Each structure stands twice: as C-alpha cells, then as structure tokens.
Chain A
Amino acid sequence: MIALSLALALVAGDYAPARQGLEPLDAQREARVMKLGKVLRCAVCQGLSIADSPASMARAQLDKVRELVAEGKTDQEVMDYFVARYGEWALLEPTTNGLNGLLWLGPVVLLVVGLLVIVSLVKKRAPGELAPQAPAAAADDPFLAQVRAELEK
C-alpha cells in the first residue's frame, strides 16, 4: 500500500531520479566520457555499463566521469578512481593481471592448438596413399600384425 501511494504520488508529481545531470562536455571530451562509461559497471544494475544503464545511480556515476574528465584526468586515472571505490568489480573489461590472464589467453590458445590439430590431420595422410582404416592402436598390436602377415602369405 505504501508503494502504491508512493506510486500515485509520483504519478501526480514528478519523477526525477537524479539531479538533472551535468551538461555534456565538448564533443571530443564527451566521446571520452562515453567510452569510459562503456567499460565501467553501474553499481546497482545487472551487468550494464554506466553509459547504457538508465538507472539513476548510473547517471550519477556518469556525471562523476564527466567531472573527472573535465578536471583533466586521464582515462587510467578515471578508472583508478572507480576501482578505488568499488573494487576491480567496477571494470567490465577484466584486467590481464594474474589469473585473469587465462580469460584473454585461453581462447587464443584453443584457437591455435585447434588449427595445429586440423593441419596435422591433413599432413598425416597427405602423401596420397591409402589411409589406414584401422586405428593406430590396432596397427601397433604385434599379435594383429602377425595375423595380418600370415593372412597375406
């Protein structure tokens, strides 16, 4: 009921989730703000960036980015500011430090190893000979080899 009356009050009145927001900076610096906004995680949303999220918290955080950019801070300094407050969690793009390296290297390693496997699949049977039908293990089996030898006699 409280919520309903609140809702009704809001319908009758206003809904301004945040301060109206700072005015955008000049085009070049605003582009930097949006780029930074894309890689910073909104503190209250489900994995959205502060540039994407419509939440009031995200608007406020984006304004903070604007403020810092206007003060002449570098991209790294802006990101450090957010990491200092919210932890590494604030970065939507994980760092490459420590175990996180796996995230960036893993798929690349898989791709390279996969390519090598595919190439080796060809090379093994490349010389145009008839490919062996039996698996390698069976070919190595001395008993089977002897049986084959006897059959061929």
Chain B
Amino acid sequence: MAEVVGNGVQVSHSNLGYGLVLLGLLAATFAAFVGLWSGLTRRETLLPWVRGAVYTFSGSMILSNLTMIHALFFDDFSVKYVAQVGSKATPPIFKVVSLWSALEGSILFWGMILAVYLLVFTLMYRKAQGRFVQLSLGIMAAVAVFFAFLIAGPANPWTAIPNPLSDGPGPNPLLQNHPLMIIHPPMLYLGYVGMTVPFGIASGALLSGEITAAWMMPLRKWSMVPFLFLSIGIILGSWWAYAVLGWGGYWAWDPVENAALLPWIAITAFLHSTMVLERKGSLKLWTLALGLAAFVLTIVGTFMTRSGVFNSVHSFTQSEIGPTFLKFIVIIFVFSFVLLVVRGGKLQSDSPLESVASREGSILLNNLAFAALLFTVLLGTIFPLVQEALFNKRISVGEPYFNAMSMPCWILILFLMGVGPMMPWGKAEPDLVLKQLLVPGAGALVGLAASMALGARNPWAIGVYTLAGFVAMVTLRELFLPAQSRMQESKENPFTALVRSASKARRRFGGYVVHLGIVGIAVAVAASSTAKVHVSGTVKVGETLEVAGHKVRFDGLSSGSEPHRTWTGADVTVIFPGGSEAVHHGLKAPRMNFYERQTDPVGSPMVDEGALRDVYVSLMAFDSKTPSATFNAWVFPLVGWIWYAIPVLVLGSIIALWPQGRRREEREAPAKAIPQGSA
C-alpha cells in the first residue's frame, strides 16, 4: 500500500522498488511475447523491440535491487523485507548480504542476476540477426516473466508496513557465523540462474528447428559459466558445512545438496556432449535435451530448497511460493518435452558413430555415466516423498545408498577422463592407442604403488588413486605436448611455447586444466573419506586425546559474548607428530554457541588446516566444575584439496572462456546466425 500524502504519492523505498518490479514484469512480458511471436511468424524487423524490452527489464530489475540495498543500508523498516531481516546493529557488510539472507530478498536477488545475464547476452549478440535470436531472447524473457511475477506477487519483499517499528531482528544468525556464507549463496545463484541462457539458446534452436554452427560455440561457452559458478557454489557449500556444522563431514547427500548437484551433473554432461555436437554435428537432440534438463532441474532444485517439502537444514526459507514454483515446473517440463518431441525430428545428425573406441564414443559413455548418476541422485532424493505420498510409508534414502550407487558412476567417469582424451575422433587404431598408453600406464602404477605403500586398503579408494595417476598423466601430456613440439620445431622457450599453444586451443587447454582440478578433488574425497581417523573421549585440563599421532591437549574452558550470541569454548593445543604445537584458544577453539532464540547450542568445530591433513575437533559436552570436556576429534588426510581445487577450476574455466579475439567472434557468430530457413 502506498502512502498517500495530499494529492500525490510519496516516493518511498516501497513505491519505488515495487514500481520498478512492475516495470520489469511489463518489459519482460513484452519481450517474451514479441520475441516468440515475431520469431515464430518470421517478423525480423521486430528484433530491436525485443532487445529494448530486455534492456528495460534488466535496468529496472537492477535498480529495484539497488533500491533494496539502499533501504537495508538506511534501515527503512517501513519495507516489509527490511523489517524482517534488518537491524540497526547489523554491520554494514551484513546489511548488504541480508539481501539474500531470506526468501523474498533472495528471489529479488535472483531477478537481478537474471537481469545481468540477459543484459550481457543481449549486448554481446547485439549485432546478431534472425529469428533464432528472437526466439532465444523470447524464451529467456519468459523465464524473466516468471521471476518478476514471483517478486511482484507471492514473494513480494516491497510490501509497505504502515506503522514500522524502530528496529528489526537482523539476519539469520547462521549467515553471520562464517564468511563462506557470504559468498556461497551468490555463487550458487549465479550457477542456477545462468542455466537460463543455455536453456534459451537450446529452446531457440528447437523452436527454429535448426542449430547453426555459429551458435554451437556460444551454447558451449554459456554453459561453462553456470558450470563454473555452480561448481564453486557446491564446493563452498560443502566447505561451509565442514567448517561450521561440526559433525566431521562435508557432504551428507542432504536433499538440498542434491538439489545443487542435479543441475551440475546435467550441465557437465551437456558441456561434454556439445563437443560432439560442435565437432561432428551429431547428438543434437540429446545435447539440447540435456540443456533443457539442466534448467528444469535447477527450478526443481530451487523448489526443493525453497518450498520446505524436505525437512532439512536449509528450510529456514520455507514459504508460500511452493505452489507457484510447482506450476512453473509443470509448464517448463511440458514445454521442454513437447518441444523435444515435436521439433526434435528436425535436427538431423550430420555424421554417424563409427566406433565406441573414439572420442565421441567416450563422450557418449561419459554422458551415459552422468545420466545414470543423475537418475540415481534424483531417484534417491524424491523416492521417500513418493513412498510417503502414495503409500503413507516413511522411508529414508541416505548416504549408504548414494555412496554405493554413485561410486561405480564416478569411477567410470574418472576412467573416461583418462581414456577419452587418448582417443581420436572417428575411429581409434588399437596400436596407436596402445603406443600412447606407456606414460599414463606408468602414472597409474605410481598411483597404485603409492596408495599401497601409504596403507590404503579400501578397494574403491585404491581404484581412485590408480585412475588419478592415469588421468593426471594423460591430462598433463595433453597440456604440455603441443608446447613441447613448438619448442622443438620453432625453438621457442618453454613459457612462450606453453602460452602460444594454449592460446591456439583455449577451450581444450582450459578444459584439461579443469580436469586436473577434478582429479585433485577425486583424490581428496577418496583419501578423506576412507583414511580418516576418529577418536572421541572426555579429558580433564592438561590431559590429551591422541588421534593418528596428533595430540589434542585440553587447556581449559573460556567463554565470551557477542551481540547476537554467547559462547563457551574448550581451549586446545594441537601437538603434531614432529613436536610442534598449534594453539587454538578463544574464538579459534572448538565452541558451543548459544543464540538468543535457540534452546540447543550450535557447535563450531576447530579446524587446524594443513596441506596434507586437517585436524578437526568438535566440542560435544563440557563440565565447568571439574573442568572437563568431551571431544570428537578427527584427522582427515588431504581434505583441503577439495577447496584448494577451486582456483584451478576458475583458472581452467577462464582460459576456456577467454574470447578468441573480439573481431573474429563478431564476424563469425552473427553472420552465420541467420538460419537457413529464414533466408
């Protein structure tokens, strides 16, 4: 409700912000309608109108978000959302962060991310012509309509409060517990929302019945962007769980974690099959289906997270938007399905599969492994819901199931990461492949020998280390062989040769760098989950608890208070096998945090990070009279490699995404973008 002052309407944050959302909704609706209608009826002169409407949507959505940040910053409690999450005592940085700390704000924030994606996409292809662009933009704008509608209606953060209070409760304490929580959600959102672009391109291709060569590279590059952000978001999320929740793990196959993993699996499979699409012109329908699936799964995942259908740690964002999401899921699912069935036949394969022993064959197997993985995770996640809804039977599908079922898929994927790059396109000659096998084979033996020497007994883990050695050697050879031949032929120095060979094939080079990061993660997951050592016990002051050669000495209890919580910590000193010590006292100690509105304390563990191992101690109970403390202590080998892989993934993705020279791209993409049908 707007506050009416005299004859005019007072410009308040609420009015301005909500007005901008309505303008965005209007512009997106116009862009979607005109884009799709003119694209389907081949009225190409209307394209500038579509672009203009997209720019309007983007501008108004970005401005609406800035208005909200302004309102949060200046504590305007007459705005419903600010009244819900703001407080005067919140530090400035957390005032901005509270934009995504609760449901309505995070949906508004999604709107801004979508606006930025659409803005960048439209600007990048501002010279492209043809109905394909109209249709793609139309679909993306249709997604924008959904989000603008959510913000304007079911998840409206802008409702004006007539008699605002003078202060608010502040954002969810968990969000203020750890800096990772500041960047984990935006990374996930960037990944989720980024799926809109490949979805738009793929839908445009299906609607126009043609995917031209010029659009295959954009399709692949635009799927790398959400792939990267989603990877970062997932890893940061697991790091947060590890560093904050204190149960000594980073992945629990929780429905909310699975919700992020599902679109990641789809987009990763998609990234690989687009190579076959681009190179051989085949797998068109399958690839586009994966692109559509990645987007549908994103929305399904959001629904799982946001509607509260699963009772999980993240369900503090439960709300009324569930039904709206469910309708949207049905619409996009039916749309995608019908599109694939009706238009799929138009996409013909340019070249057949000659042999499974080929690059495309290995990518097909990779896609099969990812599809099986996707199916397993999806089935395991929704099966308890189905059982309960249909038969009123409550069952659990947890870690043992997911580990057992997904492990063969992960192993197959790791194997293919090594075999695939060794295979030529077309058909592999057995003796040529065998000749290449020497170096990677040696890598595999090193991996096997090292794991045996270090005492690995778990067969899955030994398999992972062996394959990791194999894949690492294949990948390093692919990375450095071109440089080596340049050094020999052109007498270039090693650095120049590497940079030049990389810049000649950026996507290939970047892809292999990403593979190296994934190998690191595979080894880290295998080592930290199979070779961890766990001890629990109660100790008095001065006594130690020994875990895998590390001594944890209890030095006494300490406590403190912060505005939003009080805490008690058990000061400890970690004594390493070599005799050196690390002191973890006060806020660095394993603690229990007591929040004002929660009866149960929230623990935070102590993590002593190391390149080769982490020492991890959780406080389970304490007694201040004795004084004594009960600890859960772990040593996790190599666990940090999971998060240290993030920079490698980023580096590889940036190399792959780096433009091949602006002029060349502009010349190629738009010129060929005119579909043959419309000529």
> From A117, which residue of chain B is reached at the shortest CB distance?
B368
Residues A41 and B398 in contact in the complex (CB < 8 Å), given A115-B368, A125-B353: yes
- CB of A13 within 8 A of CB of B624, answer yes
Produce 1/0 per residue, B245-263, CB < 8 A to A: 0111100111100000000
Selected A-B contacts with CB under 8 Å, 28 pairs: A7-B596, A15-B601, A15-B622, A16-B622, A17-B620, A38-B399, A38-B400, A39-B400, A46-B252, A46-B254, A47-B253, A48-B247, A52-B247, A53-B247, A88-B393, A89-B395, A92-B396, A92-B397, A92-B398, A100-B387, A102-B379, A114-B372, A118-B365, A121-B353, A122-B355, A133-B350, A135-B345, A135-B348
**Size of chain B's interface in residues, with CB distance under 8 A?**
71
Complex: how many Å from CA A87 to CA B368? 36
* A54: interface (CB < 8 Å): yes
- B396 near A122 with CB under 8 A, answer no
Asked whether B391 lies within 8 Å of A99 as measured between CB atoms, the reply is yes
Distance, CA A135 to CA B399, complexed state (A): 44
Please tell me if the beta carbons of A16 and B400 are within 8 angstroms of each other in the complex.
no
Given the complex of chains A and B, what is the CA–CA distance between A52 and B375 in angstroms? 26
Interface string of B343-356 (1 = CB under 8 A from A): 00100101111111
* Chain A window 121-134, contacts with chain B (Cβ cutoff 8 Å), 1 for yes, 0 for no: 11011000001011
Partner of B538, one of A14, A20, A133: A20
The distance in angstroms between the C-alpha atoms of A95 and B514, with both chains bound, is 38
A94 and B379 form a contact (CB under 8 A): no
- A90 CA / B379 CA spacing, docked (Å): 19
> Taking each of A6, A49, A111, which has the highest tally of chain B beta carbons within 10 Å of its own beta carbon?
A111
CB–CB A106/B375 < 8 A: yes
Q: Which of B312, B355, B364, B376 contacts A47 (CB 8 A)?
A: B312
Q: Does chain A have a CB within 8 A of B632?
A: yes
Task: Tell me, yes or no, whether B319 is within 8 Å of chain A by CB.
Answer: no
A131 to B193, CA, bound (A): 40
B252 touches A14 (CB 8 A): no
For B380, list chain A residues within 8 Å (CB).
Answer: 103
In the complex, B623 has a CB within 8 A of chain A: yes
Cα A39 to Cα B174 with chains together (Å): 28
A residues contacting B by CB (< 8 A) are 3-4, 6-8, 10-18, 20-21, 24, 34, 38-39, 41, 46-49, 52-54, 59, 87-94, 99-100, 102-104, 106-107, 110-111, 114-115, 118-119, 121-122, 124-125, 131, 133-135, 137
Residues of the B chain whose Cβ atoms lie less than 8 Å from the Cβ of A103: 379-380, 383, 397, 401
Residue of B246, B248, B624 touching A14 (CB-CB under 8 A): B624
Known: A11-B568, A38-B400, A53-B247. A6 touches B599 (CB 8 A): yes
Taking the complex as formed, is B595 at the interface, i.e. its CB lies under 8 A from any CB of chain A? yes
B372 touches A110 (CB 8 A): yes
What residue in chain B is nearest A2 (Cβ atoms)?
B599
The answer to whether B354 touches A125 (Cβ under 8 A) is yes
A3-B401 Cα distance, complex, nearest whole Å: 39
Contact between chains at B354 and A94 (CB < 8 Å): no
A contact residues around B630 at 8 Å (CB):
16, 20-21
A47-B312, A102-B379 known; 12 new pairs, CB 8 Å cut-off, are A7-B595, A10-B601, A11-B561, A21-B630, A41-B398, A47-B254, A52-B248, A53-B247, A93-B398, A102-B383, A122-B353, A124-B352
Known: A11-B559, A125-B354. A92 touches B399 (CB 8 A): yes
Flag whether B291 is at the interface (Cβ < 8 A): no
Residues of B within 8 A of A11 (CB): 559, 561, 566-568, 594
Which residues from chain A contact B536 at a C-beta distance below 8 Å?
Answer: 21, 24
Asked if residues B603 and A91 are in contact (CB atoms below 8 Å), the reply is no
Q: Is B311 an interface residue (CB 8 A)?
A: yes
**Contacts of B356 on A, CB cut-off 8 Å?**
118-119, 122
- Within 8 Å by CB of B396, from A91, A114, A131, lies A91
CA distance A139 to B622 in the complex (A): 79
- Interface status of B625 (Cβ within 8 A of chain A): yes
The yes or no answer to B618 lying at the interface (CB within 8 A) is yes
Q: Is the CB of B597 within 8 A of A3?
A: yes
B625 near A14 with CB under 8 A, answer yes
Q: Which residues of the other chain, A, contact B11 by a CB distance below 8 angstroms?
A: none
A10→B624 CA distance, assembly (Å): 10
Q: Which 9 A-B pairs have the closest CB atoms?
A: A92-B398, A7-B594, A93-B400, A131-B352, A125-B352, A114-B368, A16-B621, A89-B394, A107-B376
The residue from B255, B311, B623, B632 contacting A54, defined by CB atoms under 8 A apart: B632
8 Å CB contacts to A: which residues of B393-434?
393-401, 404-405
Residues in B neighbouring A135, C-beta threshold 8 A: 345, 348
Given contacts A47-B312, A93-B400, contact A118 B387 (CB under 8 A): no
Instruction: Answer whether residue B676 sits at the interface, using C-beta atoms and an 8 A cutoff.
Output: no
B529-543 interface code vs A (CB 8 A; 1 in, 0 out): 000001010100000
Q: Is the CB of A47 within 8 A of B405?
A: no
What residues on B are CB-neighbors of A47 within 8 Å?
Answer: 252-255, 312, 396, 398
Task: Using known A-B contacts A18-B621, A54-B618, A119-B356, determine if residue A106 contacts B379 with beta carbons closer than 8 Å.
Answer: yes
Known: A53-B247, A122-B356. A107 touches B621 (CB 8 A): no
- Shortest Cβ distance from A95 into B: residue: B395
Distance A11 CA – B623 CA, assembled complex (angstroms): 10
Give the CA-CA distance A2 to B397 in the complex, in Å: 38
Given the interface pairs A3-B598, A46-B254, A88-B393, the reply to whether A110 lies near B625 with Cβ below 8 Å is: no
Least Cβ distance of B539 to chain A in Å?
12
Q: How far is the CB of A1 from chain B (nearest CB, A)?
A: 8
B345 A14 Cβ-Cβ under 8 A: no
Q: How far is B383's CA from A144's CA once the two chains are assembled, in angstroms?
A: 48
Decide yes or no: A99 and B387 within 8 Å by CB, A20-B630, A125-B354 being known contacts.
Answer: yes
Q: Is B313 located at the chain interface by the 8 A CB criterion?
A: yes
Q: Using Cβ atoms and an 8 Å threshold, which residues of chain B touch A89?
A: 394-396
Assembly CA distance A20 to B372 (angstroms): 44
Q: Mark B273-305, 1 if CB is under 8 A from A, else 0.
A: 000000000000000000000000000000000
On chain A, the residues within 8 Å of B246 by CB distance are 54
Contact A15 to B361, CB < 8 A, known contacts A52-B249, A92-B401, A94-B401: no
Cα A34 to Cα B536 with chains together (Å): 12
B371 an interface residue at 8 Å Cβ cutoff? yes
Residue of A nearest to B255 (CB): A47
Instruction: State in angstroms the CA–CA spacing of A94 and B384 once bound together.
Output: 10
Given A10-B601, A17-B620: A118 and B395 interface contact (C-beta under 8 Å): no
Chain B residues with Cβ below 8 Å from A119 are 356
Which single residue of chain A is at the shortest CB-CB distance from B566?
A11
Residues of B within 8 A of A122 (CB): 353-356, 361
Complex formed: what's the CA distance from A41 to B391 in Å? 21
Q: What's the Cα separation between A53 and B372 when bound, in Å?
A: 30
Whole-angstrom distance between the alpha carbons of A103 and B396 in the complex? 12
Whether a CB of chain A sits under 8 angstroms from the CB of B592 is: yes
Query: B358: nearest residue on chain A (CB-CB)?
Result: A122
Say whether A15 contacts B383, CB under 8 Å: no
Q: A15-B592, A18-B621, A131-B351 are in contact. Are A94 and B395 (CB under 8 A)?
A: yes
Docked complex Cα distance between A21 and B620 (Å): 11
| Minimal beta-carbon separation of B541 from chain A (angstroms) | 15
Question: Nearest chain A CB to B565's CB is how many angstroms away?
Answer: 8
**CA of A24 to CA of B632 in the docked complex: distance in angstroms?**
13
**Set of chain B residues within 8 Å of A133, measured between Cβ atoms:** 348, 350
Residue of chain B at shortest CB distance from A124: B352
| Chain A residues closer than 8 Å to B399, beta-carbon distance | 38, 49, 92
**Cα A124 to Cα B353 with chains together (Å):** 9
B620 with A59: CB separation less than 8 A: yes
Cα of A59 to Cα of B603 in the assembled complex, Å: 15
